[in-house]
Amino acid sequence: MRIRQHVNPNLSFFAEFRGERPRLRGVPIEVEIGCADAQFLFERAAIDPGRDYVGLEIREELVGIVNRNAAKIGAPVHAVSCHAQHHLELIFGEAKVDRVYLNFPDPWFKKKHHDRRMIDATLADGIARVVRPGGDVFVQSDVWEIALDAMEVLDRRDDVFENLAGEWTFWRRGNPYGARSWRETNAEETGLPVWRLMYRRR
Ligand SMILES: C[S@@+](CC[C@H](N)C(=O)[O-])C[C@H]1O[C@@H](n2cnc3c(N)ncnc32)[C@H](O)[C@@H]1O
How large is the greatest C-alpha to C-alpha distance in the chain, in angstroms? 45
Handedness of CA 189, 43, 97, 6 (dihedral sign): positive
Amino acid occupying residue 103: N
What is the residue extent of each domain of the chain?
25-201
* Annotated catalytic residue, options 106, 136, 142, 149: 106
Q: Annotated catalytic, 106?
A: yes
Distance 105 CA to ligand 1 centre (A): 5
pLDDT tens digit sequence for 56-106: 999 999 999 999 999 999 999 999 999 999 999 999 999 999 999 999 997
Q: Are 126 and 89 in contact (CB under 8 A)?
A: yes
DSSP state string for 41-83: HHHHHHH-TTSEEEEEES-HHHHHHHHHHHHHHT-SEEEEES-
User: How many Å separate Cα 2 from the centre of its chain?
Assistant: 23
pLDDT tens digit sequence for 19-32: 999 999 999 999 99
pLDDT tens digit sequence for 114-154: 777 889 999 999 999 999 999 999 999 999 999 999 999 99
Check if 83 has its Cβ closer than 6 Å to any atom of ligand 1. Answer: yes
Check if 36 has its Cβ closer than 6 Å to any atom of ligand 1. Answer: yes
Domain 25-201 CATH (choose: 3.40.50.150, 3.40.50.620, 2.30.130.10, 3.90.1570.10): 3.40.50.150
Ligand 1 atom index nearest CA of 105: 10
